[in-house]
């Protein structure tokens, strides 16, 4: 298995809803990432988990809450979002081993629309 | 500060060669990546350079000069499916430093 999977592919939610995005990889990677990408912009890093511990939080609002239940899974819990949070949310993973060639492999993304 | 510059858009003809440049200023350096991203899809990894020189992978090659803070991605025998955004990304100096993405270059291929 050499891919990162994300569910759902599309999500439409209201500002009062609570939803979760899910990401899974079975490549034995020990680092996992959440990015947010707006149209025609590069990905913006949100969170990094390394060995199941949160290592980077890029000052993301608390309405986004990441969770890493185990080394293969990464969730992003959403609550009380704003319309400007509508974007493509990308999950990525990397080996996080001893090699410096720590390439990130991206999932297909979840297209989120907040009404 | 951290800064990565690449052209916003480029146009090339099917069958031709195109070079996409990237310059960077970062606090330390631990590798440069090129990703391809088609509209509405996730980025896919193309190449990685950490030492000076040229890395060739089929129709795509990537070059790095650390002293100049400069890289380029060379695409040969262009195909219509190469129409995409190409993202240059740099990992900073510490082992756990995050990867910073450039704004991407939108490449349009004309028949």
Minimum CA–CA partner of A46 in chain B: B98
DSSP code, position B94 = S
Question: What value, to the nearest 5°, has the Cα angle with vertex B78 and ends B13 and B86?
Answer: 100
Looking at every residue in chain A, the average pLDDT score rounds to 90
**Is it the case that residue A76 has pLDDT exceeding 60?**
yes
- Cβ-defined contact of B44 to A106 (cutoff 8 Å): yes
B67-90 average pLDDT score: 96
Q: Shortest CB distance from B42 goes to which of A41, A55, A107?
A: A107
- Cβ-defined contact of A103 to B48 (cutoff 8 Å): yes
- Cβ-defined contact of A102 to B31 (cutoff 8 Å): yes
Tell me the CB-side half-sphere exposure of residue A64, using CA atoms within 13 A.
19
* pLDDT of amino acid A2: 63
Chain B residues inside the 8 Å CB shell of A50:
96
- Cβ-defined contact of A100 to B30 (cutoff 8 Å): yes
* pLDDT of amino acid B1: 66
Looking at every residue in chain B, the average pLDDT score rounds to 91
DSSP code, position A101 = -
| Burial class of B96 by CB neighbour count within 10 A (0 to 12, 13 to 18, 19+) | middle
Pick from B98, B34, B100, B95: nearest CA to B64: B34
**Is it the case that residue A99 has pLDDT exceeding 60?**
no
Q: Which residue has the tokens 């060995």?
A: A51
Query: Hey, what are A89's tokens?
Result: 């949310």
Chain A residues inside the 8 Å CB shell of B43:
43, 90, 106
């Amino acid at each position: 298995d050499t891919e990162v999977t994300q569910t759902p592919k599309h999500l439409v939610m209201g500002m009062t809803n609570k939803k979760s995005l899910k990401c899974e990889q079975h490549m034995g990677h020990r680092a996992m990432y959440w990015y947010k990408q707006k149209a025609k912009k590069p990905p913006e890093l949100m969170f990094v988990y390394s060995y199941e511990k949160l290592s980077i939080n890029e000052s993301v609002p608390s309405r986004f809450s990441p969770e890493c239940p185990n080394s293969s899974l990464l969730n992003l819990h959403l609550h009380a979002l704003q319309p400007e949070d509508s974007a493509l949310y990308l999950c990525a993973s990397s080996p996080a081993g001893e090699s410096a060639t720590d390439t990130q492999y991206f999932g297909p993304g979840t297209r989120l629309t907040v009404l | 500060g951290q800064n990565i510059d690449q052209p916003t858009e480029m146009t090339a003809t099917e069958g031709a060669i195109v070079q996409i440049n990237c310059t960077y200023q970062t606090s330390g350096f631990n590798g440069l990546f090129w990703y391809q991203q088609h509209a509405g899809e996730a980025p896919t990894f193309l190449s990685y350079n950490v030492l000076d020189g040229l890395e060739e992978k089929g129709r795509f090659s990537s070059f790095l000069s650390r002293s100049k803070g400069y890289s380029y991605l060379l695409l040969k025998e262009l195909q219509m499916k190469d129409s995409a955004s190409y993202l240059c990304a740099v990992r900073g100096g510490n082992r756990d430093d995050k990867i910073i993405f450039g704004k991407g270059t939108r490449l349009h291929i004309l028949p």
